[in-house]
Amino acid sequence: MRAAAWLVALIILPRILALPAAQEQSSGDVIPVSIVCHDLETLQVTWHPDPLTGQNLSLDFRYGDHALRSCPRYFLLGGFTSGCIFPVGTGLLEVTLRNGSGATVFSRRRRASAWLKPRPPWNVTFLWTPEAVTVSCPAHSYPGLDYEVQHRDPFDEDWQMTSEPQCNVTVGGLDPGRCYDFRVRAAPRGLHYGLEAQPSDWTSVTHWRGAAPAASCDTGHDSPPSSPLPLACGLATLLTLALLLAMLWLRRVKDALLPCVPDPSGSFPGLFEKHHGNFQAWISDSQSAALAKPEEDHDVILPRGKWAEPEDHPAPGEWGGGALVSVGGATFRLDGSGYMTL
């Protein structure tokens, strides 16, 4: 018998200790309900209305042994009641929700502080030393809170947290030349208020560099400073485009100032196709062709710009001891191994 009693005690005792103080289990819960005690001042009870039933839920509450009181302030969602707000009192709180027929759909009885959610800290100050900062704020009017300070720099992926039981939290290991983000909240201790208590909302994020607010840190903190490679690539692209535009412009200027040189292959057939640009070989070959089939006489221009008199014309194929050759509309006189245009 004693062994069985000890076994039952070992099974039941941990469950009893796990329940929050003054908790009384209730049966008949039909819908999910949320209860929040805002800063030990007001209770907010919310639920999801059921438009299919077409019924409004009604809420009654009381503290201690007082008579039940109806909700003094409902709020609606889609034309149906979806919540109630009422003040915090002393003693155990009993909350009951009923449907249109009076049947209980939700019931709880415990201290209002079991659903505590403090308000965010206010008047937060930052006191900087060379490598640390002390975050301070006025304390809440009730005990059992921890004050959490989170910070991160542009290279941190996650927030770093420091917690103290007083709102006088020192965060060390900081670089005064780097930007940091800070935020603060108050969190109820589970052993003091229960497992359904919630931490406050975070304060607004503030940006600091050293001992002064850093407006330059407002650009973001999700990633390290951007790499210079994209900027360099952009500059290189712009420079390349500028060079291409400059080359096109210079080409147009060149075409306008320097017209195209005519192709000499049309005037001197065979010079490039047969003799590969060797003018001496070409003129010699042309001389042989001219001697084999003399051309008609042509008026020629004397060297130094003098016109020859008609009676001075030599016999065909001769001029001053050299042979005359007419090729491609031009006349040449051969003198030994040299030649000149006439």
Q: What is the pLDDT of residues 224-251, one digit of tens each?
A: 444 566 777 888 888 898 888 888 878 7
Q: How far is CA 216 from CA 71, 96, 154, 220, in A?
A: 50, 53, 12, 9
337 CB-near residues (< 8 Å, 6+ apart):
none
Sorted by sequence, the CB contacts under 8 Å of residue 264 that are 6+ apart come out as 271, 272
**Do 145 and 138 contact (CB within 8 A), yes or no?**
no
- Note the pLDDT of residue 213: 76
Question: Are the CB atoms for 209 and 217 separated by under 8 Å?
Answer: yes
Q: Is 296 or 200 the better-scoring residue by pLDDT?
A: 200
Report the alpha-carbon distance of residue 230 to residue 220 in Å, rounded: 19
DSSP SS3 for 236 = helix
Q: With 60 as the cut, is the pLDDT of residue 14 above it?
A: no
Cα–Cα distance measured from residue 46 to residue 242, given in angstroms and rounded to the nearest whole number:
66
pLDDT at 165: 96
CB atoms near residue 188 (< 10 Å): 26
Q: pLDDT digits over 19-50, tens only?
A: 333 333 444 567 889 999 999 999 999 998 87
Q: What is the dihedral of CA 238, 239, 245, 248, to 10 degrees?
A: -150
Counting every residue, how long is the chain?
342
Nearest to 182 by CA among 134, 141, 145, 230: 134
Residue 336 has pLDDT above 90, yes or no: no
Q: What is the pLDDT of residue 5?
A: 46
Instruction: Tell me, rounded to whole angstroms, the distance of Cα 265 from its chain centroid.
Output: 64
Q: List domains and CATH numbers for the chain.
A: 20-116 (2.60.40.10), 120-219 (2.60.40.10), 268-341 (no CATH)
Pairing of strands 116-117, 33-38: parallel
pLDDT at res. 248: 84
Q: How many CA atoms lie within 13 A of 291 on its CB side?
A: 11
Q: pLDDT value at position 59? A: 96
Residue among 36, 41, 35, 80 nearest 57 (CA): 80
Q: Write the burial class of residue 243 (CB in 10 Å: 0-12 exposed, 13-18 middle, 19+ buried).
A: exposed
pLDDT more than 90, % of the chain: 43
How far is the C-alpha of 204 from the C-alpha of 139, rounded, in Å?
Answer: 18
Contacts of 233 (CB under 8 A, 6+ apart): none
CA 160 → CA 181, 227, 228, distances in Å? 10, 25, 29
